[in-house]
Structure 1
């Protein structure tokens, strides 16, 4: 099977599964208060069948998805950089000591922009976190930059 991410442009690692050309690259594990991403060895295409496996919860409570970066179409993009990636690196603590095994790294906007520092914080980033800490809420808010 071909590497799905290989033919894409820069990927947003915090995309919604309904975005065009979305792929699943991780599963949400950990606890409610300390969720963590468990990275898949190979990204999977988002399909209706895969998303149905999340039921009865939302897919973003189970899956971490990536999609081509929306650039100007995203509230976090400043015309050059992803401000969300900047805030994550500037404000969140690292949660791993080694680079996680990530199937999208070479195409990931956060990696390309912020390098290893983004990857060390990525496992704690949950796209739809329904129990975020105050710090996580501030980092996720576009006006927090």
Structure 2
């Protein structure tokens, strides 16, 4: 089986762009993911809002290389927090999603992950560290 994808990845070459935030703040999913290159990333970073705050990217789940990985449960802790905080219940029909079959969140939380996913964007903030 191919690696599961993190649906909350950063904009980086090789990441799959699978959703775009609309004017209402919800994610509109692409029919097919688009693998982004360095030119896309560089161009997207020239805007006031970071690409992670406007687009949804997926890349291979980093597991222990990610701060959201729970080694105790061998799972992503972020999706549980999202589902609990947003508390949207899945309807009978899920919106189409190009990464669902390989999505870490879907594999862990099923349809409830999908029901809460369309409002999620990353909030990337960087800090300069004085040396």
TM-score (norm. length: structure 2): 0.80
Question: 1:87 & 1:56 partners in 2: Cα distance?
Answer: 29
Structure-2 change in CA distance of 1:84 and 1:47 (3 Å): same
The CA RMSD over aligned residues, in Å, is 2.3
Structure 2 stretches lacking a partner, 5+ long: 126-131
Q: Which residue of 1 aligns with 2:40?
A: 50
Structure-2 change in CA distance of 1:55 and 1:8 (3 Å): farther
Per-residue deviation, 1:48: 2.7
Question: 2:15 & 2:2 partners in 1: Cα distance?
Answer: 10
Verify the 8 A CA contact 2:17 2:58 in the aligned structure 1: yes
Which structure 2 residues correspond to residues 36-115 of structure 1 after superposition, within 5 A? 36-51=26-41, 52-53=43-44, 55-57=46-48, 58-79=50-71, 80-94=74-88, 97=91, 98-115=93-110
Matched, 1:126 2:121: yes
- Per-residue CA deviations over 1:36-78 (Å, capped at 9, x if unaligned) read 1100000001113333156423211321101100100111110
Paired residue secondary structure (2:26): strand
Number of equivalent positions? 120
The structure where helix makes up a greater share of residues is 1
TM-score (norm. length: structure 1): 0.73
Question: 2:11 & 2:23 partners in 1: Cα distance?
Answer: 21
Question: 2:44 & 2:66 partners in 1: Cα distance?
Answer: 28
